[in-house]
Structure 1
Amino acid sequence: MKDRLYLNTHNPNAAAVAKKIGFGIELDDYVYFNTNIDLDEGKTLFDRCVGLIQGCNKLIFHGAILGTDLKMLAEASTSDIIALYNQSFATAEALGINHIVFHSDYIPGHSNRREWLHRSIALWQEYMSDKPENLYIYIENFVDNDPYIMAELCEKINDKRVMLCLDTGHACSNSNVDVADWISILGSFIGHTHIHNNDGNWDYHWPLGKGILDMEQILHLLEAKTLNTTYTIEADYSLSLEWLLAHGFLGGCDYQIDFQ
């Protein structure tokens, strides 16, 4: 999996480390930021991100999210979501990135399951209707409490450019369904994976070796059940890379990792 591994720019040093070692970069600087890149604040961030990714040809862009208020997320209109996602697409395109992760806006307890599914299928089909053939979207489980609706969504969107991003930490803290079952149910729909660990109660983004998830089992399942999914470490990358090395997931590496 070493050729499919990405580091997340939440840590300011991660991009430099990724480029030094040869991993990819997942740019998440726009998750909570939706300012036009032509405005002063937007241009400052854009220029900084250009510097972060320069020299790396394996790139993923984490699209902006609508917010963290769950009731507001459940009530967001299709036009608001598409406008936000189009802004993320414009930014990613300007940065030369054609892989984008977007959060699912399914909110258990607020969203009507059938209505949400019907609306979301139409939303993604409309969104992708004017997008280039080489754009790939990964819909990430956020507070989803089971994998079934995600599998049905991806199947019925029926667009090879739209896949799922399994977030192991979100599945662990927001669902009573075992993460191994998420992998079995979602299977080949998984195109990208966010890997981190927690205590099952809160989304702590702990490193791979800390928490209740058996990450060794999970990674072996992902390698067996998916079609070469890519991975982003969304945790302390130094501890997580040490864990991956120790457990044989970066086999064949002939370098000594310098985490500084």
Structure 2
Amino acid sequence: MASFVIEGGHSLSGDIHPQGAKNEALQIICATLLTAEEVTVHNIPDILDVNNLIQLMRDMGVSVSKKDIGTYTFKAEKPDLNYLESDEFLKKCSSLRGSVMLIGPMVARFHKAMISKPGGDKIGRRRLDTHFVGIQNLGASFSYNTEREAYEISADGLKGTYMLLDEASVTGTANIVMAAVLAKGTTTIYNAACEPYLQQLCKMLNRMGAKIHGIASNLLTIEGVDELHGTEHTILPDMIEVGSFIGMAAMTQSELTIKNVSYENLGIIPESFRRLG
């Protein structure tokens, strides 16, 4: 069994570069399915969940190219829709919780989706009601295939509506937003999540041609459009990682330089640690 041996009493120094945020990366990568044009994403973290999703995109027929460290291009011109119903696809989804965010883009653009119960860390209740109910409100139908242990989702065409989310779920809001941007009419989402990573997704979608209003608030209004286009996007640094580095410097009374932190998105984290000092 692996272990860490930590010897205290030493000052720290130097520069630290936080990696891109995993939770934002999973949303952004799924969102590239919403257009047939090329999307370039920078600062993608080199971690297992993200790498597995990137490989899953390749398996789905998305053209994926690594341009530099942390920079990839995605072009979902002609995904393999037959693969999206295969046992292999469902098996891979079952081991990757972020795969649930494929539902919104796939139903919005291809009018159908199939996905197994997603895996992921066991950190308490992580229900999917917000995802399913929100997309159902837009006109999709859900059924559970007991033989394949998979959800089957279909929609002839999504239509805008108003909804009150019972939970301000970040991934749930992201999934609903990705579905609503290509729905007919206007969608109003009350009690929407407003965290920085969700804001980043909405800003990227707007650059692609979506019409999302109320970004950074708990009330989102989305005017559906016919299609989206390519864009370029840079993922925020992981705020939990940045906060941990700040805490590490404070607790050891050390001087560290944390670069590329996107300070304006850190909220109360810097002030909290300043008061501790």
TM-score scaled by structure 1? 0.36
Structure of greater relative contact order (alpha carbons < 8 Å, 6+ residues apart)? 2
TM-score scaled by structure 2? 0.34
**Larger C-alpha radius of gyration, 1 or 2?**
2
Whose strand proportion is higher, 1 or 2?
2
Whose helix proportion is higher, 1 or 2?
1
